[in-house]
Amino acid sequence: MPPRHPRIVVLISHLERPLQQSRLARVVTSVLPDYSGETDIRVLDTTVEESLQLARELEQNNEVEVFVCAGATAAYLRRHLTRPVLSMRVGGADLLRALEQARLRSAQIAVISHARINADLDSLAALFTVQIHQGSYVTLDEARQAVERARSLGCQTVIGSSTVVELAEQVGLHGVLSISQNTVRKALEEALGVLHSQRSELAKRRHLDAVLQHIPTGVAAVDNQGIVQALNPALEALLGMPASHLLGRPLQEFCPQLALDDVLRSGVGEENTVIQLGQNLLLCNVLPILEDGQRTGLVLTCQDTSAVQRADQRIRSTHRPGGFSAKYRLEQISGKSQATRQLLKLAQRYGATASTVLITGESGTGKELLAQGMHNVSSRHRGPFVAINCAAFPESLLESELFGYQEGAFSGSRKGGKPGLIEAAHRGTLFLDEIGDMPVSLQTRLLRVLQEREVLRLGATEPISIDIRIIAATHQDLPQAIAAGGFRSDLYYRLNILRLQTVPLRERSEDIADIARAILRRLNGDHRAPPLQERLLDALLPHLMAYHWPGNIRELENILERAALSAQDLLRGNVIDELSLALVIPELRNIQALPQTAAVTDLKSIAREKEKQYVLEMLQACDGNLAETASRLGISRSTLWRRLQ
């Protein structure tokens, strides 16, 4: 392991470079073992003339973080170096120790200090058995003059720094070093404190630099003259220039549309300013940097507007209304017929893909249930399921609901604008019910959404990217609508990638019993139906299976809900009361049966025979009055006449 670089340098200057380690250097070295585990400390003897050059070399080579020197050297180097320079400050205890040594050699002692004399020593002079003369110096010449003055006063011993001691010894005086181990320890403790503080600040700065390096927002700091002091890679990318080309130059040169001068003059920041920079449209903020209430510069943050729009869209998606969810699963769709099983098998397979699905079939055949089930088996099942009935909105309202609008797009528009339902489906499924009833003018805009996966709000100029899966449904014959000019052929081919055709209820009458029981269970809060309702259903099944069901499952739901509420009136034991049936569910008294499968022929025959018997009984009860009979049966006279025929 290579040796660590010394981080604290104790620099001791002399009149001449000593041939061996100086007296002060030995004092410093004697305390270094106490700090060996904390940092590297280096002790260097140099000359007064060479001290600055040596210190600069250490600084440039990054071999030092803190200098420790005697008073005069510290004051001199501090003016020329960028690294901290600390002084070994002589305290009262140090002077008393030095005086104890000096009085053994002389009755008159000179104490020569850097910059100023010790006032406390003057006030205590009467307590000493020796005569003390004090002097001070700033420059080397002043130090020489102070030593000469001490000699002229008859002083034989001089107390001071290593330089003062050397000057005294040059003129034949005895020198006593004022700096002790205690002084050195205090200076090193202070240096360690500075070093730890520097390292802590450096760690914070590096952490901040790392944060700035990795955030996607462009950031730059400028001084009070608008000169770039720092910037991060994101801003380099947005400006298309390296940091080396930008640092130290006015930011206004690269972003002329920014009102930097106004912010520098007023001190008031500019937020959410949109500027064009090359091919990029940027959203910028320029804010003052305040330190202790004083502005020290400005900080610029900027983002590409497309990134801001994507973030805005993600926020809307995250906070979408809770109603945008799919409740039904494919396994909840009732029915055991071959047609139903084949339909669910295809729906399961299509649901696992990302392709667009077109569901066709009569109204009430469960097209939305299929769409919800496919969403719940897809990889988007955690995303929103947004269902839009294209026939439920007038054209003017449908456009704003689908695509959303910007603030001020039209009179009465919401402040701040409004995202459309297509945007709300981001990362999920958009179900377009009754797509065949969408106005042709909106079909063109929808086609672009399908092609580009972008949506343009009303009044906006920038499209918003979206990630959606489309499922469309219609009861109309779209090829016929295309021929009549009511539907765009290019939109049809965009939708008609995967195709599902629902089967009307009349063509799968074997599913009616299962569907009816599932409906009754749902009407009872997903609990088993009461025995009375179950007996009613068993008695009603012949009528239900003989009915034509123009409204399909939706009509079956309505009839069963009505029947469940009137179960006591409709049942006489386990037999349907035909009169009550005619009053409560007249649809089942107007049965127009279509050709059915052999499996239900007997049931239909039974239903027809019972109907015929009931009609004749009612006619007899009305004494042959056709109008009254038709009224009681809830049918027209012409229908009654056909029944009698």
In order, the DSSP letters of 591-624 are --PPP--GGGHHHHHHHHHHHHHHHHHHHHHTTT
| pLDDT higher than threshold 50 for residue 94 | yes
> Two tokens at 633?
């049966």
Q: How many CA atoms lie within 13 A of 432 on its CB side?
A: 27
Most confident of 213-222, 483-492, 605-614: 483-492
Least confident of 445-449, 574-578, 598-602: 598-602
pLDDT 10s digits, 594-632: 334 333 445 555 566 667 767 776 766 666 677 777 777
What is the predicted pLDDT for the residue at 323? Answer: 61
Across 48-128, the runs of DSSP E, i.e. the strands, are 66-69, 85-87, 108-114
CB-CB contact of 338 with 453 (8 Å)? no
Phi and psi torsions of 210, nearest 5°: -65, -40
Decide: helix, strand or coil at residue 365.
Answer: coil
Residues 246-273 have a mean pLDDT of 81
Alpha helices for 174-299 (secondary structure H): 181-214, 233-239, 243-246, 260-266
Other residues' Cβ atoms within 10 Å of the Cβ of residue 36: 9
Buried b (16+ CB within 10 A) or exposed e, 37-69: eebbbebbbbeeeebbebbeebbeeeebbbbbb
Residues 30-42 have a mean pLDDT of 88
Helix or strand (DSSP H, E) at 519: helix 512-523
Rounded Cα distance, 108 and 145, in Å: 18
What is the predicted pLDDT for the residue at 60? Answer: 92
What is the predicted pLDDT for the residue at 409? Answer: 58
Cβ within 8 Å of residue 527, ≥6 positions away: 521
| pLDDT higher than threshold 70 for residue 307 | yes
Decide: helix, strand or coil at residue 124.
Answer: coil
**AA identity, residue 296:** T
pLDDT tier, 8 (very low <50, low <70, confident <90, very high otherwise): very high
**Strand pairing category for 270-277 and 280-291:** antiparallel
Q: Which residue has the higher pLDDT, 5 or 310?
A: 310
18: left (phi over 0), alpha (psi -120 to 50) or beta: beta
**AA identity, residue 540:** L
End-to-end Cα, the chain, rounded Å:
113
Residues 389-393 have a mean pLDDT of 81
Calculate ∠ Cα 197-202-205, nearest 5°.
Answer: 130
150: left (phi over 0), alpha (psi -120 to 50) or beta: alpha
Most confident of 247-251, 316-320, 628-632: 247-251
Rounded Cα distance, 628 and 33, in Å: 123
Residues 639-644 have a mean pLDDT of 68
| pLDDT higher than threshold 60 for residue 557 | yes
Residues 330-344 have a mean pLDDT of 87
| pLDDT higher than threshold 60 for residue 263 | yes
> Two tokens at 405?
């609008």
Residues 353-369 have a mean pLDDT of 91
| pLDDT higher than threshold 50 for residue 194 | yes
Answer yes or no: pTM beyond 0.85.
no
The share of the chain scoring above pLDDT 70, in percent, equals 88
Rounded Cα distance, 304 and 280, in Å: 7
**AA identity, residue 571:** L
In order, the DSSP letters of 265-332 are HH---EEEEEEEETTEEEEEEEEEEEETTEEEEEEEEEEEHHHHHHHHHHHHHHT--TT------GGG
What is the predicted pLDDT for the residue at 3? Answer: 45
What is the predicted pLDDT for the residue at 634? Answer: 67
Residues 341-348 have a mean pLDDT of 91
Least confident of 62-76, 110-124, 200-214, 536-550: 200-214
Residues 400-417 have a mean pLDDT of 66
Please, what is the average pLDDT of the chain?
A: 83
| pLDDT higher than threshold 70 for residue 310 | no
CA 207 vs. chain centroid, Å, equals 21
Residues 123-129 have a mean pLDDT of 75
Rounded Cα distance, 290 and 285, in Å: 16
Least confident of 18-27, 420-429, 633-642: 633-642
Cβ within 8 Å of residue 365, ≥6 positions away: 502, 503, 504, 505, 552, 553
What is the predicted pLDDT for the residue at 169? Answer: 92
Residues 405-434 have a mean pLDDT of 76
> Two tokens at 352?
């696992």
Least Cα distance to 546 among 612, 598, 610, 596 occurs for 596
**AA identity, residue 99:** L
The beta-carbon contacts of 19-22 under 8 Å, at least 24 apart in sequence, are 21/45, 22/162
What is the predicted pLDDT for the residue at 595? Answer: 39
What is the predicted pLDDT for the residue at 229? Answer: 84
| pLDDT higher than threshold 80 for residue 643 | no
Q: Which residue has the higher pLDDT, 189 or 129?
A: 189
What is the predicted pLDDT for the residue at 316? Answer: 56
What is the predicted pLDDT for the residue at 57? Answer: 94
Domains in the chain, CATH or no CATH each: 8-88+185-194 (3.40.50.2300), 92-178 (3.40.50.10660), 215-310 (3.30.450.20), 330-503 (3.40.50.300), 537-644 (no CATH)
Dihedral over Cα of 337, 338, 342, 345: its sign: positive
